[in-house]
Amino acid sequence: MIETPTIVQTTDQLTAVIRLTIPHSSMRQEMGPAITEVSQVVKAQGIGPAGPWLSHYLSISPDQFDVEVAVPVLAPVVATGRVQPARLPAARAARATFHGDYAGLGAAWAEFRAWVEANGQVSGVDCWEVYRVGPERSENPEDWRTDLYQPLR
């Protein structure tokens, strides 16, 4: 279930990322280790995390994701291993909050994109998810909250 979407203006955000180009089926196996690696690097450098972790989808094809697993930071990260500096650009975007287990995100995005189209908006190429409450804060998936962002043209 998503809350009623709104149109917002996001701000530019420095991030530390690991970029993955992976099959959809590998997302669950790749996401956890990537976020752990990014989090360890930004903590070691004393620059974050400066907010909840996120996934920035640069492109989505029928078979794979091109995604940055990211953590907001207070200063540019010094590249370490797979971790690289990046930036989530400011954007005029549609935003909705999804309540529930990550397995429901596909259906949430479909509902969200239908709202964007029905409201006369044109989606940009990329999109992102901000994981405000997840399994690290609650074992109950009903408590989980993921903000969906779709930049608009």
Specify whether the CB–CB gap between 82 and 23 falls below 8 A. Answer: no
pLDDT in tens, 13-70: 999 999 999 998 898 899 899 999 999 999 999 999 999 999 999 998 889 999 999 9
Give the per-residue pLDDT at 28: 85
The residue length of the chain stands at 153
Number of domains in the chain: 1
Give the per-residue pLDDT at 43: 97
At 35, which CATH number? 3.20.80.10
Picking from 28, 19, 25, 30, the residue whose alpha carbon sits closest to that of residue 64 is 25
Assigned domain for 1 exists: no
125 CB-near residues (< 8 Å, 6+ apart): 58, 59
- What's the whole-model pTM score? 0.93
Give the per-residue pLDDT at 97: 98
pLDDT in tens, 97-116: 999 999 999 999 999 999 99
Print the domain residue range for 92.
Answer: 6-151
